[in-house]
Structure 1
């Protein structure tokens, strides 16, 4: 199996595993990008990518065939202009050229050589090779050839089909051909029109993406992607479709069963979840890719992706337990240290200490809102009461059940029987409420992103980061600090901290190796007790506990061993 591990990458991983040992939580970071220096000056276009049965990567370019074994790259001049390359069922390499196609193989000298199968004088462009059952379909502008497992060649009958061919793909062991807004199916070496299918790609078909999930995936020059199930074709909803529209879709490859990578001409690679449509990673210049102009991408479905771009060749591998966090805004200086504490990430640089936080941008707007008024006072109105005859007359003019007032009560006042009867009713009327408006400030979320914030009070190089009792301990060239709730406290000022070690035998205790000697720091509740060891006042580079009664110190070319270090220590030199 082909090994991609590079010396520098292995060394880098060892350092990360030893000193960081972190997990990835909410802020996922970007996949680690390996940019191969062998191709930094690559100034010619990559047409296609494949992998040999021996694991060697092959890149088809206009200047030749580039072979890369993970350590060294070599350009092979195969004496023909190459177009696309594909492996047959025997894993032989089949290459198309203007006007024909043939086999590429390695000769006795270790160079790749081209052997022509078919060559025509009309220079027909064979721009696509599709695996179909045990054969390969070589698709040209005006003809389709079938190359079987024994490299025997036959020509597909295309009587019903109108050329030119826009593209081809396999689905359910059937070859599908796209030509002039129609879909054809290869049956018994003959192409027949598939009826009853609304096919929206027209001649703007761009490429297809092989998959193993029972669907065929296609794309067009309108930067849209589609899913085909044999009966209908549906548009795939991608959350960051606008990014693809602006970046110009170029190609695609599945990294695994759920993640699809789409390459673009000026926006790098967008990797998203095919089920949810949500972006998982954006691989572009701002996240470490040398150039955003991507020619081609390739994946075996093993969570890794090869990227050919205008500045060379790069590779990402989602299997690596390491992510890049330096592309977020707000980080300054050269990286010195890293710490994952729960869901938070701390990065020490030559400019201080930073932590990654979620930032939200809001737009402020003032609006007038209607406020519900409180109960209005009632107004008392006194009106004469109608007598019985008047009431009867008026009642004919009124509709049954109609009330002029909602809150009404009456109080009859009686006179003597000989006097004319007068009645009055007292009505409590509620005054119409007045509308009240007030000014209110509202906030609209414009964007949500991650960025770095600097911890105040910590200056200089943050060389060491250590979690201790839920506290971030920081060793710098200006002293020892503790950080809690993003607030820093200076514990040992004006010292160059070489190492911070948690004691294995002394509870709540740290050993600090510094340019001024050895410090012992103990925490009691919220308080610190920090003392410089009276016997050790010159520079100490490292400290290690041998047992509960012995510690070893490293300094200039020697080792000092302290027995009974906390009471009448005995010092020996080695």
Structure 2
């Protein structure tokens, strides 16, 4: 029951403002080692970077990466000091963060006092920095980081809080009350019971003159510098139930309060009205709020027990997914004048107030039971995994222990607070528990330290008053019967998967997985048409009161008569594939199936006429949409936008519209008049126009990932289904001009080593230079893009991309300027960030190196020329001498060679002639030997195969014929014995069936003889008559009525081939598909016969969805008398005849069978034209 009350309290906080939706919330995942989830403080510095006081140090996040800055002890507070320094207060010391030339931060300690409490708050006033703990207040000079003064709390009288108003600090001292902090003294306010034992938890300015204080008793007080008065919260019981832990000033209109167990609440300053609650019911991972902060962009950073989240209060996007009651994956959304409808995988739901509190309690109990089941399963699984050898999971503690601990956390904190209040009220309690020096009287002075500790008198001021407004009684507890929250209620009558919501006249039509439903009276539904899967709906513009249904069984149109009854208007069912979309255009009804588009003529009376089929460009199944753009039909497939080509009867790419197609985001086309798409690199837009005033709101669609539905209501609010959630984009939303973000170069690395950022000078031959980029903005930061230009290397800017690492493998020496820009999801560009650096030139890149190189080249060239001249003179002399000697010898040899040449020439001619003759003889002999060898091998193989087939044929033929003959004899004997006429008729039918099987067997045997013996007879075959003969012959088969034979009409009119062999091939392939059909009742058996022919070939293709061919028997399917399965009714000769007939026609056959049991046989035969008949006959012979 405690769990129910806790959940109920979180829901009741959203009572009045629930239907306005929840803030856009993003929960961060910190992938950083040695850190914990809890963060005591959050701060944004002047550069836009976020800092978090984590248990293990200060975490930093710049929009790209997380980093941890070690602080030697746990930090508790952060503040922005002079010159943009980040001041840090830790467990037993305080300091600041220093950024070095490398862009890295380190923690610098200012002071580390002994016996000091954690620094809880830091203030910067008049260029002084104040560090506050419950024991001491330190004043530090930020120029030299020296402690100017320090105020110590009296023993057993710790400070209970501090705040600043109009430049003045106020301290709360236990058992004394408030004090003003002056230059060297503390001015004491009159002691009041409300403050002597209080602990300040939050201080939030209401304006320049007033501040709001939150105490540990969950009360709120206004203070104007003189007087206190209570502040009335619209639902004060929410703080009492969930315990106040802190708060911040958020804007001129709002402040935010944090609680221990109820998340945080956004409160209007003017009237104390709770504007919004952010807790686990709205998407926050945990309800225990530890810290809060506001960034420059209006984002609320929330530190909770499980990490960090950011809520954007200024963003005109609200989340409507977190209200209780919604179940299933979200598919569609519809907003009427007063009601929000949501279609999910478990039905249709509407958002409304609870009429009775029992409904909410029942819902919470149901969710609690489901959570307990899941937790038990998780616990059992973890126990089994922890000991895999244990047969049964050990009994562990109840799964409700964690919940009880979570709920008891609030009670523990309440007890802790009460104990602290008791200690502050009576110091002797603490003295009894912890021995300390006795102190029985209140001291008259507080200790103030200015370089050394001195005593300062306390000045009393008598004008301060604490007033509780008499006209405002104590806030009463929240009344559940008045503060009734909103939740999602199911539409009665629909408990199936809902796909589309379409308003039609006074009702709402719902397309579901089990039919069409109609929601009447906005709350109940009735089934209009069942037994079908309705993929989409479309309202007829041509016929009044008619709605089209795209279903798994084709298309159905229903008309609503004057009595609100639905009547069938037309049906189109012979399409052989599911229909996903339907659209009207003039007198045609266009349909989009999984593999084809259809255009069906519809006359004015609604009669179905001619139908045309258009092939999809791809062979795989699609889930298409039909859209209208500029009065043209567009088919949206997975590869782009297409339009029907009337001449080619297929869909062709719509090139002019392809610029709008983006495969990553897809399109949304459900609401009439809206065709949403996001062109690459641009914002979402409605291609159908009619979106005046919506362009600015449409820019916010970039926030979402995979968008499933977009609905624009009458007030121009966008309702978006994306990422399994429901969002609303407020009407008249606009993208403000962004001025607070910038691109940052967060680091430079050379060979993996970080380099200084200011005046960076790199050595010569710098390699593996890399820059890390970031943008200090926290709105969909992972989708930001960057652009750069390296002056000195690039002439143009780079393309926009999301890569945040900028590598330069090699750069020559010189001066460079790296310019970087960032672009957010709205397309807004930041100002340029410039980094100048220089790479030293190597000696080879200097002018002296070029001079020396030229001199060296000249010297080497001169030396080579001189050396070659000398060598050439020596070579010429030697050459002249050798030439003279050779000339004389050559003259002598010339005469000898001339005579020998004549003799050799004569012999050469004789040898060449003889060689030629031998080569010719050898070639002729080799050809003859190869021909005879091949002929002998072929003859031998044919003989072996024929002998094998003959043995098989004799055995199987005798066996297959003996069986029917034996059955004939037995049936005849039964007829003689049994005189009953009905029995005789049954026996005669069996006789007929057996005789037909024998006739079929004999026909197959005759076909074997025809194939082997009869010569080829080519003739002109009319395919239309020929295919009709084949169909009639197959109609006598018992299973023919159970299959659907498809023969596309695009086959050739005539072919020239052997008519008998072609009939054997087609007859047996079709019989094989019929015999091996899938007998399952949920499988629709289809056989598709396709024929094509050109001047050279005839191609046949038969495809079926039967039982398929297993890989084990694929090698034997063409064997004689082979049957693939025992359930086969054939004789095992069909595919054998097909192969033999194909081989005799010099064709080839192959087949394919995949895991989806789609089997196709393809036969390719030579096509003999009439003029080529004699040649082909001779070739075949």
Q: Same fold (TM over 0.5)?
A: yes
Task: Identify which of 497, 500, 508 aligns with 1:464.
Answer: 500
Counterpart in 1 of 2:580? 541
1:348 aligns with 2:343: yes
Tell me the CA shift for residue 147 of structure 1. Answer: 4.2
Task: Identify which of 31, 41, 45 aligns with 2:23.
Answer: 31
Cα deviations by residue, 1:481-508 (Å, 9 ceiling, x for unpaired): 2212123233332222223345678776
1:237 aligns with 2:229: no
1:319 aligns with 2:314: yes
Q: Does the C-alpha gap of structure 1 residues 160 and 491 become closer, same or farther in structure 2, counting only changes over 3 Å?
A: closer
Counterpart in 2 of 1:423? none
Tell me the CA shift for residue 145 of structure 1. Answer: 3.4
Q: Distance in 2 between matches of 1:293 and 1:321?
A: 26
Q: Alignment partner of 1:200: what SS?
A: helix
Counterpart in 2 of 1:402? none
Counterpart in 2 of 1:202? 196
Bigger mean CA offset, 352-361 vs 560-569: 560-569
Tell me the CA shift for residue 528 of structure 1. Answer: 5.0
Q: Distance in 2 between matches of 1:245 and 1:86?
A: 29
Counterpart in 1 of 2:512? 476
Counterpart in 1 of 2:326? 331
CA contact (8 A) 1:31 1:324 kept: yes
CA contact (8 A) 1:39 1:311 kept: no
Q: Does the C-alpha gap of structure 1 residues 202 and 502 become closer, same or farther in structure 2, counting only changes over 3 Å?
A: farther
CA contact (8 A) 2:40 2:303 kept: no
Cα deviations by residue, 1:200-240 (Å, 9 ceiling, x for unpaired): 33352233333352321211111112111122112222233
Greater share of residues in strand: 1
Q: Does the C-alpha gap of structure 1 residues 89 and 540 become closer, same or farther in structure 2, counting only changes over 3 Å?
A: farther
Task: Identify which of 75, 78, 87 aligns with 2:80.
Answer: 87
Q: Distance in 2 between matches of 1:213 and 1:506?
A: 64
Alignment of 1:196-345 (within 5 A): 200-211=194-205, 213-214=207-208, 215-300=210-295, 304-345=299-340
Task: Identify which of 54, 58, 67 aligns with 1:65.
Answer: 58
Please list every run of 5 or more consecutive structure 2 residues that lacks an aligned counterpart in the other structure. Answer: 1-15, 359-479, 615-649, 652-1181
CA contact (8 A) 1:464 1:475 kept: yes
Q: Distance in 1 between matches of 2:215 and 2:329?
A: 43
Q: Alignment partner of 1:54: what SS?
A: coil
Task: Identify which of 167, 175, 190 aligns with 1:173.
Answer: 167
1:144 aligns with 2:181: no
Greater share of residues in helix: 2
Q: Does the C-alpha gap of structure 1 residues 142 and 355 become closer, same or farther in structure 2, counting only changes over 3 Å?
A: closer
Cα deviations by residue, 1:324-373 (Å, 9 ceiling, x for unpaired): 4444444333333322212212222222112222223389xxxxxxxxxx
Q: Distance in 1 between matches of 2:165 and 2:193?
A: 15
Task: Identify which of 550, 559, 563 aligns with 1:513.
Answer: 550
Q: Alignment partner of 2:572: what SS?
A: coil
Task: Identify which of 530, 537, 549 aligns with 1:500.
Answer: 537
Q: Distance in 1 between matches of 2:214 and 2:145?
A: 32
Counterpart in 1 of 2:997? none
Tell me the CA shift for residue 106 of structure 1. Answer: 4.0
Q: Distance in 1 between matches of 2:248 and 2:600?
A: 60
Q: Distance in 2 between matches of 1:135 and 1:542?
A: 71
Please list every run of 5 or more consecutive structure 1 residues that lacks an aligned counterpart in the other structure. Answer: 1-23, 364-443
CA contact (8 A) 1:255 1:304 kept: no
Q: Distance in 2 between matches of 1:152 and 1:38?
A: 33
CA contact (8 A) 2:242 2:261 kept: yes
Cα deviations by residue, 1:298-347 (Å, 9 ceiling, x for unpaired): 22486532222222222222334443444444433333332221221222
Q: Distance in 1 between matches of 2:150 and 2:191?
A: 22
Tell me the CA shift for residue 570 of structure 1. Answer: 6.1
Q: Distance in 2 between matches of 1:530 and 1:172?
A: 77
Q: Does the C-alpha gap of structure 1 residues 257 and 471 become closer, same or farther in structure 2, counting only changes over 3 Å?
A: farther
1:193 aligns with 2:193: no
Alignment of 1:389-404 (within 5 A): none
1:488 aligns with 2:482: no
Q: Distance in 1 between matches of 2:484 and 2:495?
A: 29
Tell me the CA shift for residue 60 of structure 1. Answer: 0.8
Q: Distance in 2 between matches of 1:264 and 1:159?
A: 30
Determine which structure has more spread, i.e. the larger CA radius of gyration.
2
Q: Does the C-alpha gap of structure 1 residues 330 and 119 become closer, same or farther in structure 2, counting only changes over 3 Å?
A: closer
Counterpart in 1 of 2:178? 183
CA contact (8 A) 1:103 1:114 kept: yes
CA contact (8 A) 1:197 1:231 kept: no
Q: Distance in 2 between matches of 1:502 and 1:213?
A: 56
Q: Alignment partner of 2:240: what SS?
A: helix
CA contact (8 A) 2:39 2:291 kept: yes
Tell me the CA shift for residue 258 of structure 1. Answer: 3.1
Q: Alignment partner of 2:326: what SS?
A: coil
Task: Identify which of 90, 104, 120 aligns with 2:113.
Answer: 120
Bigger mean CA offset, 225-234 vs 329-338: 329-338
Q: Does the C-alpha gap of structure 1 residues 68 and 515 become closer, same or farther in structure 2, counting only changes over 3 Å?
A: farther
Tell me the CA shift for residue 460 of structure 1. Answer: 0.8
Tell me the CA shift for residue 86 of structure 1. Answer: 0.8
Counterpart in 2 of 1:428? none
Count of residue pairs brought into register by the alignment: 469
Tell me the CA shift for residue 270 of structure 1. Answer: 2.8
Q: Alignment partner of 2:205: what SS?
A: coil
Q: Does the C-alpha gap of structure 1 residues 99 and 276 become closer, same or farther in structure 2, counting only changes over 3 Å?
A: same
Q: Distance in 2 between matches of 1:544 and 1:110?
A: 61
Tell me the CA shift for residue 85 of structure 1. Answer: 1.0
Cα deviations by residue, 1:37-93 (Å, 9 ceiling, x for unpaired): 337997453211112333332211121222234454343434343221111243221
Q: Does the C-alpha gap of structure 1 residues 141 and 353 become closer, same or farther in structure 2, counting only changes over 3 Å?
A: closer
CA contact (8 A) 1:360 1:445 kept: no
Q: Does the C-alpha gap of structure 1 residues 88 and 265 become closer, same or farther in structure 2, counting only changes over 3 Å?
A: same
Task: Identify which of 34, 48, 58 aligns with 1:55.
Answer: 48
1:155 aligns with 2:148: yes
Tell me the CA shift for residue 151 of structure 1. Answer: 5.8
Q: Does the C-alpha gap of structure 1 residues 203 and 300 become closer, same or farther in structure 2, counting only changes over 3 Å?
A: farther
Q: Does the C-alpha gap of structure 1 residues 557 and 266 become closer, same or farther in structure 2, counting only changes over 3 Å?
A: same
CA contact (8 A) 1:307 1:313 kept: yes
CA contact (8 A) 1:33 1:314 kept: yes
Q: Distance in 2 between matches of 1:129 and 1:347?
A: 49
Bigger mean CA offset, 112-121 vs 34-43: 34-43
RMSD of aligned C-alpha atoms?
Answer: 3.8
Counterpart in 2 of 1:555? 593
Q: Distance in 2 between matches of 1:345 and 1:281?
A: 20
Q: Alignment partner of 1:245: what SS?
A: helix
| RCO comparison, higher one (Cα < 8 Å, 6+) | 1
Q: Distance in 1 between matches of 2:64 and 2:542?
A: 46
Q: Distance in 2 between matches of 1:550 and 1:255?
A: 60
Q: Distance in 1 between matches of 2:108 and 2:512?
A: 64
